Chains A and B, each alone.
Chain A
Amino acid sequence: MIVKIENLVKRYGDLIALDHLNIEIKEGEIFGLLGPNGSGKTTAINCLLSLLKFDKGSIEIFGKEMKPSAYSIKHNIGIVMQHVAVFEELTVYENIDYFCGLYITDKKKRRELVEEAIDFVALKDFVKFYPKKLSGGLLRRLNIACGIAHKPKLIILDEPTVAVDPQSRNNILEGIKRLNAEGATIIYTSHYMEEIEQLCSRLAILDKGKVIASGTKEEVKGMISLGEKIVVETFNINEDHLAQICEIPNVIDVELKENTLTIKQRNGASNLVNIINFIAENDISYGKIYSELPTLNDVFLEITGKELRD
């Protein structure tokens, strides 16, 4: 295990920010921490990095206890903070060089690593720019370069795509995959389920400081009763039709919103052919019909009763 968090409790007065949090992260995986704002993702990361004291529990990284003075552990960790942490008074190059220099003392090696990091985030044309002159997306890329320049074994990215344009977001996500392919273990926190689904091999969903579900995407989705969802764009469906659809075996819920009919199936069951037959037999006019698997939002919704972005 690269990271092992056991029974972690963090309180702010009466508020329990982390409630007996248990997480294990294996070497080489991209582990996602998913949860709405205020669910405890950043608090967990800050405890993991010994930036915050916690009330109970233990944290091990690379098999050793993590504490503020654990410099050998810190040496192998790269951190990309949620808020951009760069010096406005230094250029792009100087910033990356500064943060890399906190880990690498050898000048020659550092120069090579800084150049590599600049290439990695595609900031070569902006090396002499000051952060103020960079767009939001470029600034995020600089933040990432500062965090990964020293080639750490474990990289923690705390919501690195907040307020980033789609092009930069794709660039960042592709970069993270490349870092993982090069051997780094990644911890990725986000409240964007699409990113977690796209990126992570394993994940934990957090709510009110607790892990409410964890495992691979498939395992997490398998934890809920919901299976596939059949979506039909329809124009002349009535209440009788809806009642009849509800009686089809394994249908657990039917929902009509404007002209979109969503039919939810029990986990493990497939009803696509039955639904198509029903539509044809009842002469219901339709636009398109498609089937989709449950999302992480469905998982969150079923477990907590609220949407991820509520």
Chain B
Amino acid sequence: MQVFKAFTKIVPKKFLGVFMIYTIIFVVLAIFFSRSGLTQMEDAFELSKVKVSVINEDNTVLANGLESYISHIAKPVEIEIDEESIKDALFFRHTEFVIFIPKGFQESFTSSNYQRINTMSVPNSTNSEYAKSLIDRYLNTAKLYIVAYPEISLEEIHEKVLRDISTEVNVSFLDKVANNSMSYLNGYFNFLSYILIAMLISMVGRIMLIFNNKEIKMRNYCAPINIKSYNLQLIFGNLSIALIIWLIFVVLAFVLYKNTFTQTGSFLFIINSFILTLLCLSISFLVATFATKNSIDPIGNCLSLGLSFLGGTFVPQALLSNTLQTIGTFNPIFWYIKVNDAIGNLTSLTQSTLEPIIYGFLVQLAFVVALLSISLVVIKQKRYSQQ
């Protein structure tokens, strides 16, 4: 185990600094990303407010009540009353919906002769339809009270209508309910892909460059050491580094997000990140077969940033174009993120919910096998060409 021992001496001396820097950057960014709400889906609900202009010529209790209600629920915009100005305001989208409350509106409304309110709106606007529904809601409720309780005053009716239609509901997405901590964990493990690939290419690549140095390699081959044993010790050493790094980051995840440790998804995140570690290790092995001392950093940066951006580490996969998503199927990081998001959105453990996750695991493992095979072929070819 002489090679492995040398490995354990070289790694702390050469890479402890690199590891510390990457870890600090990762922890800071992981906390930032996970807390900034940059998750894979838009999970915020906001009531939209339409730009509405009310031209109230009636100035009665009901007309004023309607105006005040609309001003409260929409975004009131004052415009000039002449026809030209109204058309200009609509054309330039200063306002989206104009309501005319004609003189005698209240009288007609309370009597049996129901008078319609005139409106003007931007053509084909969904917002104007929404504004119409707001007016209908107010007037229909008011009409109901007038018919049902003819004895009560219009002021009272206005108050009752307001009370009824001002009831608000909280909107939340089903898959995000009570799942905020898992969403943080999702963000953390997504971002881990970038750090792991960058760190492992930098560390494993450099270690392999040291041991693949032509002089050192030839000197080792002169010694009574089996080439297979030599290579196995190197693989074992690299695997140990990768697993230690993985373990540290997994522990760190549950230190940062303590309450998630017992949840079912957490275990799946751990498995997925373990497969990712093997994946990054195989990418690092491949890079080490052709990289040089000077090219290892540029190659590492290009690969880690490129694969992470295209894989959806920094940008939610839902926001990637169809073309990028198609290209992404050839990117192992894309599959890792996809599986992570599936785990993050997991509400129950059933065969149908687990199926895409297990499929993602298998695809990633297939990438590992393919990349390692390519590395071995390249190494073998190089050895033959040197002889």
Give residues in A with beta carbon < 8 Å to B.
46, 49-53, 68-69, 71-72, 74-75, 77, 79, 81, 83-90, 94, 98-99, 101-103, 146
A79 CA to B13 CA in the complex, in Å?
Answer: 28
A98 & B222 in contact (Cβ 8 Å cutoff): no
Residues in B with CB closer than 8 Å to A52 are 387
Residues in A with CB closer than 8 Å to B225 are 71, 102
A101 & B215 in contact (Cβ 8 Å cutoff): no
Interface residues of chain A: helix, strand, loop or mixed (majority): loop
B216 & A87 in contact (Cβ 8 Å cutoff): yes
Interface centre among B213, B218, B226, B227 (most CB of A within 10 A): B218
9 contacts between A and B (CB under 8 A): A71-B224, A74-B222, A83-B215, A85-B218, A90-B9, A99-B223, A102-B220, A102-B224, A102-B225
Interface bits B203-242 vs A (CB < 8 Å: 1, else 0): 0000000100101101111111111000000000000000
Residue from B2, B6, B222, B226 within 8 A of A77 (CB atoms): B222
B4 smallest CB distance to A (angstroms): 11
B215 & A84 in contact (Cβ 8 Å cutoff): yes
What residue of chain A has the Cβ atom nearest to residue B223's Cβ?
A: A102
Give residues in B with beta carbon < 8 Å to A.
2, 5-6, 9-10, 13-14, 210, 213, 215-216, 218-227, 387
B224 & A75 in contact (Cβ 8 Å cutoff): yes
B224 & A49 in contact (Cβ 8 Å cutoff): no
B227 & A90 in contact (Cβ 8 Å cutoff): no
B84 smallest CB distance to A (angstroms): 82
B214 smallest CB distance to A (angstroms): 8
Residues in A with CB closer than 8 Å to B6 are 87, 90, 94, 98
Residues in B with CB closer than 8 Å to A103 are 223-224
Interface centre among A69, A75, A77, A99 (most CB of B within 10 A): A99
Residues in B with CB closer than 8 Å to A88 are 210
Residues in A with CB closer than 8 Å to B226 are 69, 71
A85 & B10 in contact (Cβ 8 Å cutoff): no
Residues in B with CB closer than 8 Å to A79 are 219, 222
B2 smallest CB distance to A (angstroms): 4
What residue of chain B has the Cβ atom nearest to residue A71's Cβ?
A: B224
Q: 6 new A-B pairs (CB below 8 Å) besides A46-B218, A79-B222, A102-B224?
A: A51-B221, A69-B226, A71-B225, A81-B219, A85-B216, A89-B13
A52 CA to B5 CA in the complex, in Å?
Answer: 28
B294 smallest CB distance to A (angstroms): 16
A75 smallest CB distance to B (angstroms): 5
Residues in A with CB closer than 8 Å to B13 are 89
A99 CA to B258 CA in the complex, in Å?
Answer: 47
B194 smallest CB distance to A (angstroms): 27
Residue from A74, A84, A86 within 8 A of B224 (CB atoms): A74
Chain A to chain B: the 7 pairs with minimum beta-carbon distance, closest first: A102-B223, A71-B224, A85-B215, A85-B219, A74-B224, A101-B2, A89-B10
What residue of chain B has the Cβ atom nearest to residue A83's Cβ?
A: B215
What residue of chain B has the Cβ atom nearest to residue A102's Cβ?
A: B223
B224 & A72 in contact (Cβ 8 Å cutoff): yes
What residue of chain A has the Cβ atom nearest to residue B206's Cβ?
A: A89
What residue of chain A has the Cβ atom nearest to residue B207's Cβ?
A: A89
B153 smallest CB distance to A (angstroms): 91
A89 CA to B225 CA in the complex, in Å?
Answer: 21
Residues in A with CB closer than 8 Å to B210 are 87-89
Residue from B2, B14, B227 within 8 A of A102 (CB atoms): B2
**Given A98-B6, A101-B2, A53 and B222 contact (CB-CB distance below 8 Å):** no
Interface centre among A77, A84, A85 (most CB of B within 10 A): A85
A79 CA to B222 CA in the complex, in Å?
Answer: 7
Residues in A with CB closer than 8 Å to B216 are 85-87
